[in-house]
Amino acid sequence: MTERLRTAVLISGRGSNLRTLIEASARPRTAAEIALVISNRADAAGLAIAGGAGVPTNVIPHRAFSTQVAFENAIDHALQDHGIALVCLAGFMRVLSPWFVERWHDRLLNIHPSLLPAFRGLDTHRRVLAEGVRFTGCTAHLVRAEVDAGPIIAQAVVPVRQDDTEDSLAERVLAAEHRCYPMALELIASGRARVVDERVVLDGVMAPDDVVINPAPE
């Protein structure tokens, strides 16, 4: 059996997407192994999820460091110490510097609750409802220095209902994230997704009906 790629997940909160990544990686013949969870908050509920699954955890509080460089160096050292090959951001509420993003170039994944490039940044669902768009969703992508930017791996589409509130819409988008993110990680870890000219090109991939895979260039 091919050795699985050791993957770390960076969190700050409840660990909802973390749970789905751990569960997906526990299935037979997956290409990624969740081998480490790092949080910048000691009270992050996701730490208990990782501990319950037997995944090593590390708390690296950003406030303990005088500079962002020192904070990110500590994260990088922890990743290196655990032999990490891929990193997933899952509710990690810190903007990473260009240095860190470049160091983990094409090995750093994120999930965002909109159909990027639309609605980058915070308060996504409030803005979606305010704009009156008919469809939203989520985007799994490789990270670049620009916030909520980078080659798109997969997207899941969620219709916006007339009676939606921010909470109801967020709940359905989160459910879509739980389907989209594990698939994106598997595509990258298995080598079936690769970056060509800042687009993700895929080899022989099938997706669920509600997940859209970024197509290869013509």
> Tokens at residue 200, please?
């993700």
Q: Are residues 175 and 97 in the same domain?
A: no
The residue type found at 51 is G
Instruction: Look at the chain and count its residues.
Output: 218
Among 119, 118, 122, which Cα is nearest to 93's? Answer: 122
Residue 164: give the domain boundaries: 113-139+150-218
Query: How is 153-217 classified by DSSP, letter by letter?
Result: EEEEEEEPPTT--HHHHHHHHHHHHHHHHHHHHHHHHHTSEEEETTEEEESS----TTEEEPPPP
Q: Are residues 168 and 82 in the same domain?
A: no
Q: Are residues 129 and 99 in the same domain?
A: no
Average pLDDT over residues 177-202: 95
Q: Are residues 181 and 123 in the same domain?
A: yes
pLDDT digits (tens, 9 = 90+) for 32-51: 999 999 999 999 999 999 99
Position 197 in a domain: yes
**Which sequence positions are flagged as catalytic?**
112
Q: Are residues 118 and 41 in the same domain?
A: no
| 3-class secondary-structure state, position 5 | strand
Q: Are residues 117 and 215 in the same domain?
A: yes
Identify the pLDDT of residue 206: 53
Q: Are residues 133 and 74 in the same domain?
A: no
Position 144 in a domain: no
Identify the pLDDT of residue 179: 95
Last residue of a domain, one of 82, 104, 126: 104
Assign residue 161 the CATH number of its domain.
3.40.50.170
- Cα distance between residue 218 and residue 216, in whole Å: 6
Q: Are residues 96 and 165 in the same domain?
A: no
Q: Which residues of 88-110 are buried (b: 16+ CB within 10 A; e: fewer)?
A: bbbbbebebeeebbeebebbbbb
In whole numbers, what is the pLDDT of the chain averaged over residues?
A: 93
Given pLDDT bands bounded at 50, 70 and 90, which one contains residue 212? low
Q: Does pLDDT of 215 surpass 50?
A: no
- Cα distance between residue 91 and residue 17, in whole Å: 8
Residues whose CB falls within 8 Å of the CB of residue 186, separated by 6 or more in sequence, listed in order: 24, 30, 31, 32
Stated pTM of the model: 0.91
Pairing of strands 135-142, 152-159: antiparallel
The answer to whether the beta carbons of residues 114 and 180 sit under 8 Å apart is no
